[in-house]
Amino acid sequence: MLIFARSKNMREVARLGAGASIFNINEPILFGLPVIMNPIMLIPFNLVPLVLVTIQYVAMKIGAVAVTTGVFIPWTLPPVISGFIVTGHLSGSVMQIINLLIGAMLYLPFMRIVDKQYRAAEVTTLAQNESTPVKQE
């Protein structure tokens, strides 16, 4: 979001939520963008987990990724580290990186639609502010 967003609102939300997102604390983005209660973002919000779980399952079933060992980890553990700890193998970390890229690609078209809407609203607001005469006292 930080890379592709053109609207000031999306960039600011991404900048503020980036640090927390590393530790799987996504509420600043979920409610700041908002993803929650946004019909456009509802599609990838529900679709991406289904796709990623299916890919992960198939990768484990065919042996491309080590099967999880049953280790319980804190949910705030960063993705690449947690993949290694849960599987006990580097393939878990690699699969998490692949999943992050796939998730980002699936979210991108929907984020661009929302970004266009925000950008249009920002341009409209800016144009209205410039055309409104300022009263001087």
* pLDDT score recorded for residue 69: 92
* pLDDT score recorded for residue 135: 65
19 part of a folded domain: no
Q: CA-to-CA distance for 29 and 131, rounded, in angstroms?
A: 33
Run means of pLDDT, 10 residues per run, the chain, 137 residues = 81 90 90 89 96 97 94 92 95 96 96 92 86 65
CA torsion sign, 116 to 127 to 12 to 38? Answer: negative
31 part of a folded domain: no
* pLDDT score recorded for residue 113: 94
93 part of a folded domain: yes
* pLDDT score recorded for residue 77: 93
110 part of a folded domain: yes
Overall number of domains in the chain = 1
81 part of a folded domain: yes
* pLDDT score recorded for residue 57: 97
125 part of a folded domain: yes
1 part of a folded domain: no
- Whole-model pTM over 0.75: yes
